[in-house]
């Protein structure tokens, strides 16, 4: 989530570039890196079977392709804070729907924590202005962000974090490749300069390859509901990166929001491990080796 939050400033370098082509390169590189690291570390990336293909395709299409398309088109109708609020609402969605998919139970502490994290994150990012189209795109962003986690839950038990990450990234690379050729032309790659390529490499290695494995590992160990609380770290990281890059220090509302997010994380994660690791996806991470 720190990588995701810090990616906002890097993504600004891609404004005006052929976005689908950049995303295709991003996910292709991430898939290659993940597959290589899995081989070096002797982790088996299992081949999907049956309905697993559909779940993985859902993650790739909704959680990666449509999510990024919604951000690009939505930015024309809404301020970034609007999409920050949409992502900040994810903990509540995961707390509600996550246990239904992974066979866990969500107690009142997680519900309270999800509310605190959401409220704190909203204070950090603000509300922003948007027209009706922008609000609609923000809803799409919320649904896709939740789908990125929820659609992976049924396959994490057998494929593990590495398998889910490898298969969804190469699927997204293929989808964006086709989309890029159709909408931007086969020579769009020639319009990319070194800043755009460097930004794409950071998004590929940090925000995709490393972050995906970490995130799905957290979901497998904690459950979707509790792992969803960690999304509150993203806007806090974004605020910190902004200050590091020369932006003004946050105002009082942001500091209060950070404190509320921290409180929510403590409330939701400071629980005994016994009732946290029960259910269908509680299989150890080594299942993918």
Please provide residue 281's backbone torsions phi and psi, each rounded to the nearest 5 degrees: -100, 15
Checking if the pLDDT of 287 tops 70, the result is no
CA 38 to chain centre: 21
Please provide residue 130's backbone torsions phi and psi, each rounded to the nearest 5 degrees: -160, 150
Q: What whole-number percentage of the chain has pLDDT above 70?
A: 88
For the chain, what is the mean pLDDT?
82
Contact 279, 102 (CB under 8 A): yes
Comparing 171 with 87, which gets the higher pLDDT?
171
Place of tokens 């200050």: 243
pLDDT score of 134: 84
Rounded CA-CA distance 280/221 in Å is 11
pLDDT score of 57: 97
Rounded CA-CA distance 271/268 in Å is 7
pLDDT score of 131: 84
* 81-128 pLDDT per residue, tens: 777 778 878 888 888 777 666 566 556 777 788 888 878 878 777 766
Instruction: Provide the token pair at 54.
Output: 């559909």
* 28-74 pLDDT per residue, tens: 999 999 999 999 998 989 999 999 999 999 999 999 999 988 888 88
pTM of the full predicted structure? 0.81
Comparing 288 with 262, which gets the higher pLDDT?
262
Checking if the pLDDT of 180 tops 80, the result is yes
The vertex-126 CA angle with 123 and 130, nearest 5°, equals 150
* 234-259 pLDDT per residue, tens: 888 877 877 776 777 878 887 888 88
Q: How confident is the model at residue 272 (pLDDT cuts 50, 70, 90)?
A: low
Comparing 7 with 192, which gets the higher pLDDT?
192
CA distances from 36 to 31, 61, 209 (A): 8, 24, 11
For helices 80-88 and 90-102, what crossing angle results, to 10°? 30
């Amino acid at each position: 989530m720190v990588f995701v939050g810090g990616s906002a400033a890097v993504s600004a370098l891609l404004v005006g570039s052929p976005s689908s082509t950049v995303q295709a390169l991003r996910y292709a590189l991430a898939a290659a890196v993940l597959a290589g690291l899995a081989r070096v570390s002797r982790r088996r990336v299992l081949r999907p079977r049956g309905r697993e293909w559909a779940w993985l395709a859902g993650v790739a299409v909704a959680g990666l392709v449509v999510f990024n398309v919604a951000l690009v088109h939505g930015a024309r109708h809404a301020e970034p804070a609007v999409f920050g609020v949409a992502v900040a609402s994810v903990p509540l969605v995961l707390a509600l729907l996550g246990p239904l998919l992974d066979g866990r139970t969500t107690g009142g502490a997680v519900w309270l924590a999800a509310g605190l994290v959401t409220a704190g994150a909203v204070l950090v990012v603000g509300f922003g202005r948007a027209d009706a189209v922008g609000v609609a795109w923000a809803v799409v962003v919320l649904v896709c962000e939740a789908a990125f986690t929820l659609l992976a839950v049924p396959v994490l038990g057998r494929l593990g974090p590495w398998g889910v990450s490898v298969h969804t990234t190469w699927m997204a690379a293929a989808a964006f490749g086709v989309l890029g050729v159709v909408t931007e032309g086969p020579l769009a790659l020639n319009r990319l300069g070194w800043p755009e390529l460097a930004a794409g490499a950071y998004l590929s290695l940090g925000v995709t390859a490393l972050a995906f494995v970490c995130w799905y590992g957290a979901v497998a160990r904690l459950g979707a509901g509790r792992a969803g609380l960690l999304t509150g770290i993203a806007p806090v990281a974004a605020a910190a990166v902004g200050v590091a890059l020369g932006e003004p220090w946050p105002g009082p509302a942001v500091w209060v929001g950070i404190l509320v997010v921290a409180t929510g994380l403590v409330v939701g994660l400071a629980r005994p491990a016994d009732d946290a690791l029960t259910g269908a996806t509680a299989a150890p991470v080594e299942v993918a080796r």
